[in-house]
Structure 1
Amino acid sequence: MAKVRLSIKGLLLASAALLFSGCTTVYKPLGWVISSYSKDEVVPYAMAHPDADVSVCGTGQGLTQLVGSFGRVVKDPNYTLFYTELLTGFCAENKAYEANLRYLRAEQQDQITIARDELMLAKRWHAIAAERRVRAVDFVTARYGDIGNETCPNLFKESDEITYMLGLVTALQAVRSDLLSGAQVGVNRDLAARTMRSSHCLDNEKWWGTPQAIRSTVWAFVPGTLPDNKDLWQNYQAADEIAKQHDALFPLVLHAIGADNQGKDAQVRKALKLAGDVQQRLNSDEHQFPAIYQLVNAISHDQLRQMSDAIWMEQKGHRSPPNSLDKFPDEAQRAPADIDGLL
C-alpha cells in the first residue's frame, strides 16, 4: 500500500512539474505540432477548398491569433501566418466592397447621408485590408527575403512558388487597398514597384500568366514604370491568353483592377467578359485548373463578381444576376426576332 501511495505521489509531483515548467516542457512541443500541422495540412486543405467565404472569413480569422501566439515559443510560423493574414485581408476587402455597393445604391436613390456613411465605412474596411496585407507581406518576406532583391529566393517546392507568387500579388493589393482607403495606412507605392523584379523569379506559363499580369499591374499602378517598348494592354492580353488556356481567373483579376486604377472601363469589361468565358469552363468537367488550388479561383471569382456588381448597382440599383460576369446592363443581348410569320 505504501508503494502505491508513493507512486501516486510521484505522479502528482511529475504532473505539477510538467504544468509549472510552462513553455519549456508543454508549449514548445505543442507549438511545433500546431505550426507543422497548420503548414502541412490546414494550408493545403484550405487551398483546395472551393468555398471562399469559409476560408476567407473562417480559416483566416479563426487561425491567425492561435498560430501567431505559438510564434512566441517556436520559430518560423511565418508560412502559415502569411496565409491567415492573406485570408483576413480578403475578408476585410469583402466588407469594404459590400459597403461600397450600399453606397452606390444610396447614391442612386439620393440618400445622401446614408451614401456618405457607407463610403466612409468602405474606406475604413479598405484601410483594415491594407494593414492586414502589409502584415502578410511581412510574413512572406520573413520566409523568402525582401521583395525586389537582386537574387531570387530558394523556391524548393511548388508550394513555395505559389506562396511567393501570392505574396507578390498581396503586395500589389496592399497598395491598392491603401489607395481606396484614402491613403490612411500610408503604404509606399514602391512596394508595388519592387514586385516587378521578383515576378521574373516565377515561370509565367506554369503560373497561368500571373507573373506577366503582375508586371502589367505595376505599370498600371505606379506612374513612370511602363517601359517605352511595352504596351500595357497588349501585355495584359498576352497574360489573359495564357490564363484562358489554364482556366485561371487570377490574372484576370489583376487585369481588371489595373484597368480600374487607370479608369479604363472598356478594359475592366474586357477582363470580366474573359472571366465569364473561363467560368463557363470551370462549371464543366473539362477545365484544366488544378483542383489543389481551387481557392485561388474561388477568391478570384468573388473579386471579379464584386466589380461586376458595382457596374450593375450603379446602373440598375441591384447586383449582377447569376452567371453574368460577361454581361452588363447597358449591353443587353437582344432576343432574335421571330420572323416565322413573315415567311
Structure 2
Amino acid sequence: MRSLSVKNLLGHTRLALIGGAILALQGCGVIYKTTGDVLISFGRSEMLPYMMTYSDVRMACVTGEAQTPLLMSFERVGSHPEKLGAMVFTTAATCAEQIALDAELRYMRSVKDGRVNEAQDARIEQKRWAAVAAERQYTAYKYMIEAYGEQEEGECPKLKTDFDELVWMVGNISGVQSLLNDGSSDGAVGVPRDIAAKVERNMKCLDNAKWWGVPRGVRAAVWNLLPMLAPPNSDAWAELEASAKAGFDSGIRLGSALYAMSAFSKGDDARLRKAIRDYAANDKNLDPDYAMLDAIAGFIVQGISDREWTENTGKRTPIGGIGTFWDDAAKSAPAVDINDLL
C-alpha cells in the first residue's frame, strides 16, 4: 500500500510538473505576443516616421536587413507585422540592388576592356543579387496583399490612415520592381507576370495629388512596359511628365525616378537625359518628413546615370555630376587639380 501511494504521489507530481510547464509556455506565448504587439505599434507610430526623415538609403537598407527577421518572427506568436513587413523588406531590397548595380558596372567596364572572364563573373554576380532583390521585393508585395487583401477590378481595400495608404503604395511599387529584378536574374525567383496588371489596377485606389503624382506615374510606367494595359487615348509620357512635376512641386521626386526608369527601359535617350537633368535641377525645398523616399528616388536616378556614364566612358557619374553627361562634361567641368589625383 505504501509503495502504491508513493507511485501515485510520483505520478501526480509528474502531472503537476507537466501542467506547470505547459502553463509557463503559454505564459511565455502571451508575453511574446504582447512584446510583438508593442514592437509593431512602436515601429508604426515612431520608428518608421523617424526613419522617413533620413536621407541615408544605406542606413535604411541595413536597418531593414538587420531588423526584419526579429520583427517578422512575431508572426509565430500571433502578432501581425505584415504592414511593417512590406516596408522593411522594401528597404532591405535596396542593399541587394546596390550590390547588383556595382556588379553590373563591373561587367560594363570588363566588356569595354576586353576582360572576358571578369565580365562573365560580374554578370553572374549581378544576376544573383538581382534575384535577392526580387525575392525581397516580392515578399514585400505579398505582405502588403496579406494585410489588405487581393482586389478585383473596381475594388479598393479599406485604407483607414495615411500609414495604410503609404504601405499600399510602397508595396505595389515593390511588386513592379520585383518583376523587373526577376527579369534581370533570368527568372530565378519566378515572380508572376500578372503582377504588373494588378499593380496598375491597385494604384487607382490612391489619391494622385495627395501622394505626389506617384499613383498615376506608376500606372503610366506600367503602360510603357505593357501597352495593352493602357486605357484608350492615354498618353504615358504626358502622365510621367506630370508625375515628375508633381514630385518637384511637393519636394518628393519619386515621379522623376519613374520617368527616368521608363525612359531607360524604353531606350529613349532624349527623355532619359531630360529626366535626369530635371531631377538634378529640382533639389531645393525637399520635404524633410519624407526625405527617405526622395533619397530612394535619387538612388534610382543615380544608378541609371552611372550605367549611362560607365557604358560610354568606363567610369561612373562624376562627383557632383548628376544631371551632366560625358559629351557635355568638357564645357561644364572645372579644371582638374593635380592634388585631387594624388
Q: Which of 47, 52, 56 is matched with 1:47 structurally? A: 52
Relative to 1, partners in 2 of residues 1:22 and 1:110: Cα closer, same or farther, differing over 3 Å? farther
Aligned to 1:113: 117
Aligned to 2:40: 35
Shift of 1:275: 0.7
Aligned to 2:240: 236
Shift of 1:307: 0.9
Relative to 1, partners in 2 of residues 1:335 and 1:296: Cα closer, same or farther, differing over 3 Å? closer
Tell me the secondary structure at the aligned position of residue 329 of structure 1.
coil
> 2:211 & 2:26 partners in 1: Cα distance?
48
Aligned to 1:12: none
Aligned to 1:298: 295
- Which consecutive unaligned segments of at least 5 residues does structure 2 have? 1-19, 334-342
Relative to 1, partners in 2 of residues 1:185 and 1:335: Cα closer, same or farther, differing over 3 Å? closer
Shift of 1:86: 0.7
Q: Percent identity?
A: 33
**8 A Cα contact 1:216 1:235, kept in partner:** yes
Q: Map 1:60-75; keep pairs closer than 5 Å.
A: 60-75=64-79
Do structure 1's residue 321 and structure 2's residue 318 form an aligned pair? yes
> 1:44 & 1:238 partners in 2: Cα distance?
27
Tell me the secondary structure at the aligned position of residue 205 of structure 2.
coil
**8 A Cα contact 1:92 1:126, kept in partner:** yes
Shift of 1:232: 2.2
**8 A Cα contact 2:93 2:134, kept in partner:** yes
Q: Map 1:189-268; keep pairs closer than 5 Å.
A: 189-268=193-272
**8 A Cα contact 1:147 1:168, kept in partner:** no
> 1:28 & 1:230 partners in 2: Cα distance?
49
Aligned to 2:100: 96
What is the Cα-based RMSD across aligned positions, in Å?
2.1
Aligned to 1:122: 126
Aligned to 2:308: 311
> 2:301 & 2:256 partners in 1: Cα distance?
8
Residue 271 of structure 1 aligns with an amino acid whose one-letter code is A
- Which consecutive unaligned segments of at least 5 residues does structure 1 have? 1-14, 282-286, 337-343
- Structure 2-normalised TM-score? 0.86
- Structure 1-normalised TM-score? 0.86
Residue 288 of structure 2 aligns with an amino acid whose one-letter code is A
Shift of 1:147: 5.0
> 1:144 & 1:335 partners in 2: Cα distance?
50
Greater mean deviation of Cα atoms: 150-159 or 109-118? 150-159
Shift of 1:335: 5.9
Residue 169 of structure 1 aligns with an amino acid whose one-letter code is I
Shift of 1:40: 2.1
> 1:28 & 1:293 partners in 2: Cα distance?
31
The one-character-per-residue Cα deviations of 1:225-267 (angstroms, maximum 9, x if unpaired) are 2334122222211222222212322111111222222222222
> 2:55 & 2:264 partners in 1: Cα distance?
27
Shift of 1:323: 2.6
**8 A Cα contact 2:254 2:297, kept in partner:** yes
Aligned to 1:186: 190
Q: Map 1:265-284; keep pairs closer than 5 Å.
A: 265-279=269-283, 281=284
Residue 215 of structure 2 aligns with an amino acid whose one-letter code is P
Relative to 1, partners in 2 of residues 1:25 and 1:169: Cα closer, same or farther, differing over 3 Å? closer
The one-character-per-residue Cα deviations of 1:8-55 (angstroms, maximum 9, x if unpaired) are xxxxxxx99986555334322222222222222222221121211111
Greater mean deviation of Cα atoms: 46-55 or 257-266? 257-266
> 1:16 & 1:199 partners in 2: Cα distance?
50
